[in-house]
Structure 1
Amino acid sequence: MPRSRLAPALASVCLLGLTASPGAAAEGEEWSQWRGPGRAGAIPLPADAPALRTDAPADGLKPAWIAKIEGASGGWASPVVADGRVFLAVAGRVKREGVELPPPKYPPLPEGEDDDLPAGELDEYERNRRAESLERRKLEYTGREVVHCFDAATGETLWTNERDAAVTRFPQSSTPAVAGDKLVCLGGDRVLRALDVKTGEKVWETTLPGEVDGEQISSSPAILEDGDGGGTIVLLADGLYGVDLADGALLWENAELGGRDSSPALWDGLAIVNVDGGATVAVNLADGEEAWRLEETGASRSSPVVTTTAADEPRLLTFGGSRKGGLRCFALNGAEEPELLWAYQQLSDPGASPVVAGDLVLAPGDRRLDCVSLEDGSGLWTARLDLAKPRYTSPAAVVTGDGGVGLYTFGRLLAFDLTAEEFRPRYDLSVGPEGLAKTEDQWREELNVSPGDPEGVAKYDRVITRAGLLDCASPAVAEGRVYLRLRNHLVCYDLTK
C-alpha cells in the first residue's frame, strides 16, 4: 500500500480540484517539460511568428546556433525550453586516477564459444558478466551528471551545474522539468534536485527511497503547480513518488508500481503512468492510492497521453510495446475505470509515445509513421521510414491555423505536413558537421561517395552519422524553433521562413 506524508495545504489543493489541463496547448505555453505542454508532443506556433518553411534551402538548413556539450555528454534526456532558456541534462563517467584492475573473471565470450555452453549455463554466465562489468566500472570510474542552461536565442552558455553521481550501466536519461523558478532533475542515484533556473544553484535535494542498482532512470518528472510556488512532483523510479515542489519533502510513495521509463501524465487529480508488466495505472495525486488499472494496454516504457477532443471530451492514449497492445484510446471519466473506445493494432514501439495534434494522432513504430484519427481510430496514412531500427524516439508537432508541421528526429530531421489527407514530406535532412542539415544525396555528392561502396559507407558514417542526431532523444519546440540533441552538441534550427 502507498505510504503518504501529504502536507495539509497540498491536500486542500487537490481536494479543491486543481488539475493539470489536458488537450491542445494554448498559445504562450512553453516546452518546459518532456514532450511539451500537456505532454502531448505538440505546441501552437505564435500568431505573430512568420509562416513555417515548406522546404529546405537549396544549400542546406543552417543552424541558428550550435553549442558544444563539454565533458560528459551521455544519456538520452531531451532538452526543455522556458523563459528564453534551454535546459539539458547529460550524464557520463570520469576515470579515477591510479586505478588498475585485474583481468575480469567473466570476460565476453569469444565468438562461437557461447554455442558450446548449455542455455542455463550461458544465461548464468551472462548475468555474472554484466554484474562484474558494472562493479568494475564503479571501481574504475566516477559517475558525472551535468545540467546545462543555454540562451534560447543565441546558444550562449548561461550556467552549468555538475555533480558526482552513481555509475550506471547506461547513462542517466531523465529529462528535467521547469516549474516557476525551479528546474527539477533526477539523478541515477535517485537524488531528486531543484535548481534555480537563473543561476543553477541548488535549492533543495532529496533522495528517493529504494535501491541504487546501477540501472538508469528514464522517467521524467511531471509537476502540478499550486500557483503559490509549491505543488506536487510525480515520477516513476521503481515505485511512483509524490514530492513537494516547495522543499523536496516526500509526500507519498506507491512502491507497488514497478518501472523506471514511463513518464506520468496528470489529469483531474490523478497521475497516470505505464508500469512494468504492461499495465496503465492511475493513482490519486492526494495520497498515491491506486484509483484504477488497465491491464490490457501492453504499455510499459512508453508514456500515456491525456488530451481532449474538439468537443472537449477527455481522452487517454496508450501505446504498447507489441501490436497486441497497439495504440489505444479510452474515454476518461473521473476516478472510474476508463472505457476503451478504439484500438489501432497496426504498429508498435518499445518506448516511443504518440503525439496528438488536433484530431490527428501520430505514432511511430516498425519502421513507419502512422497518422490515426483521434475520433474513431481509423488509419489516415502511413509513411515508410528508410531508417535502421528507429525506436524510442517520440515525434513532435507545431500546430498552425491551417495545419502545421510534424517532426520525427530519429537519425534524420524529417518534417511533414499535419494533414489527414496523405503523408506529405516537407524535407528529410541528415545533420552533418557544424549542424548543417542536407539531404543524403547532397552529402554523398559533397563527400564523393556512393551507397554501394563499403569505403564510401564507412566515410559517410564517420563524417555525417557520427556527427548527427542522437537516436532516442526527442525534440523541443518553441516559437517556431526546434532544439535537438546531436551526439556531442545541442543545435537549434529556425523552422520559419
Structure 2
Amino acid sequence: MTSRQNRWTFLGGALLAATVLAGCAGGTARPKPAELKPVVPVVAVRQAWTARVPAVNFPLQVHAAGGQVLVAGSDGTVVTLDAASGRELGRASVGAELSGGVGGDGRVTAVVTRANQVVALEGGRELWRHRLPTQSYTAPLVAGGRVFVLGADRSLTALDGQSGALLWNTQRPAEPLVLRQAGVLLPVGNTLVAGVAGRMIGVDPDTGDVRWEAPVASARGTNDVERLVDLVGGVSRQGGVVCARAFQTAVGCVDTAGGSVRWSRPANGGTGVSGDGERVYGTESDGRVLAWRADTGDRAWAVDALQWRVLTGTLVLGRSVVFGDSTGLVHLLSREDGSPMNRLTTDSSGVAATPVAAGNTLVVVTKSGGVYGFVPE
C-alpha cells in the first residue's frame, strides 16, 4: 500500500463508504533511513513534565490557548492540561471513539466521533451532540459562540455553541475520494477559511456564503488517486496571508483579503506547514525538510539528513523549526539554514501529531498517549 493510497477513502454520494483503497501491486518498500549523526545542542531544552492520555490512533490536532493544552485519546477521552506544569485541569469522556479533534475556545471543547457525531463539552460535562451526514477528520473550530465543522467530503457546518442547533450547512460537489486526515479550517478576521479539494475558500461565517476561492493546486495524473488533491492542516498564517499544503501536490500562499494566490510551488508531502513571515517550512514524504521564501515561493534551503523518516508537520518556535518522527524523536532545526539545533526524546511509539507551543512550553503527544512538556533552559 502506498503512502498516498492508504489515506484516501471512497465516497458514495455524499456519504463515506466503508471501503478503503487496497494495496497496489508493484509498490516499492520505503528505503531504510540513514543513521542519525549526534547533535551538539545549540539551544538548551529540558523535559519539564509528562502526562498521559489513552492511545492516539486518529488524526489528533492538539489545541493550545491561554496557557492550557487540549489533548484526546482515540477512545474519546478529552484532557485539559496546564501547559506550564502539566497538571491535569480536567478530564472527560464522550463515550465513543474519535475521528477528529480537539477544538476549543477556552470554554467549550468539541470533538467528532467515528459515528459522525459532533460532541461539545463544557466544564467536563456534555453540552450537546449533533449528527453529521458525513465523517470528519478535522478538529472542530470553536469561535464566536459557534462550532464550525469541516466534513470529510469538504462540506461545512455551523452549529450554535451552546445548543448545537444547526445554523447553516454548505455542500460541495461530491468527490469519489477524500483524504482521511485533518483539513484546513481557521478564522481570518471575519472570514472562515477552509480547504476544499485543492482550493482555499473564504466563507461568510454568518451565512455560509462563499466569498472567494483560490486554487493552491490542480488535479493531475491518470486515475482517481493521482488526480485528487486536498489541502491538509496545519497552515502558516502571517496577517491575512495563509500558506497551506495540497496533499502530495503543492505548497502555496493565499492573500485572504480577496482570495488571490501569491504563489504555488510543486511539493510532495502529506503534512501541514508553518511559517515565520520570511519562510514557509514543511516536511516531504521522503523525509526531506524544505523551506520556501514566503514572498516568492523560491526554495530557501533543504535538509536531507532525515530522509526516509516519517515526519510530522512543522512548528516554528523561537529560532527553530520543530517536528517529530515515527520513532518518537523530536527534531529542532535552524530556521535560517536547517542546521540541527537539538534533538529530544519521548517514547518509541512515534509522535502522533504536530507539536504545539503553549506559552513557554513545547508540547508533544505520542501514539501510545504520552504527553511531554519541554521548556528552554
Matched, 1:223 2:190: no
User: Are the structure 2 counterparts of residues 392 and 409 from structure 1 closer, same or farther at C-alpha, using a change threshold of 3 Å?
Assistant: closer
CA contact (8 A) 1:271 1:283 kept: yes
* Alignment correspondent of 1:158: 127
Matched, 1:234 2:194: yes
User: Are the structure 2 counterparts of residues 249 and 44 from structure 1 closer, same or farther at C-alpha, using a change threshold of 3 Å?
Assistant: closer
Matched, 1:211 2:175: yes
RMSD: 3.3
| Identical residues among aligned pairs (%) | 18
CA contact (8 A) 1:373 1:380 kept: yes
Gaps of 5+ in 1: 1-32, 37-41, 55-60, 93-144, 309-313, 422-497
CA contact (8 A) 2:154 2:195 kept: no
Q: Which has the larger share of strand?
A: 2
Amino acid at match of 2:261: E
* 2:365 aligned to which of 408, 419, 423: 408
CA contact (8 A) 1:278 1:320 kept: no
* Alignment correspondent of 1:11: none
User: Are the structure 2 counterparts of residues 215 and 44 from structure 1 closer, same or farther at C-alpha, using a change threshold of 3 Å?
Assistant: closer
CA contact (8 A) 1:350 1:391 kept: no
* Alignment correspondent of 2:262: 291
- Partner secondary structure for residue 297 of structure 2: strand
Kindly report which structure 2 residues correspond to 1:29-428, keeping only aligned pairs within 5 A, or say none. Answer: 36=63, 45=67, 52-53=84-85, 63-71=88-96, 73-75=97-99, 77-92=100-115, 145-151=116-122, 154-163=123-132, 165-166=133-134, 172-211=136-175, 213=177, 216=180, 218-226=182-190, 231-254=191-214, 256-257=217-218, 258-295=229-266, 297-299=267-269, 301-307=270-276, 314-323=278-287, 326-333=288-295, 337-347=296-306, 352-367=312-327, 368-384=329-345, 386-388=347-349, 390=350, 393-400=353-360, 404-419=361-376
CA distance in 2, matches of 1:66, 1:373: 36
CA distance in 2, matches of 1:271, 1:254: 11
Amino acid at match of 2:341: L
1:193 Cα deviation (Å)? Answer: 0.7
User: Are the structure 2 counterparts of residues 276 and 236 from structure 1 closer, same or farther at C-alpha, using a change threshold of 3 Å?
Assistant: same
CA contact (8 A) 2:237 2:243 kept: yes
Query: Could you report, residue by residue, the CA deviation over 1:319-355 in whole angstroms, capped at 9, with x for unpaired residues?
Result: 21213xx22333423xxx1344333333366572122
Amino acid at match of 1:162: R
TM-score, normalised via structure 2 length: 0.66
Q: Which has the larger share of helix?
A: 1
TM-score, normalised via structure 1 length: 0.52
* Alignment correspondent of 1:434: none
CA distance in 2, matches of 1:247, 1:339: 38
- Partner secondary structure for residue 119 of structure 2: strand
- Partner secondary structure for residue 92 of structure 2: strand
CA contact (8 A) 2:250 2:268 kept: yes
CA contact (8 A) 1:232 1:243 kept: yes
Across the two proteins, how many residue pairs are aligned to each other? 293
Larger Rg: 1
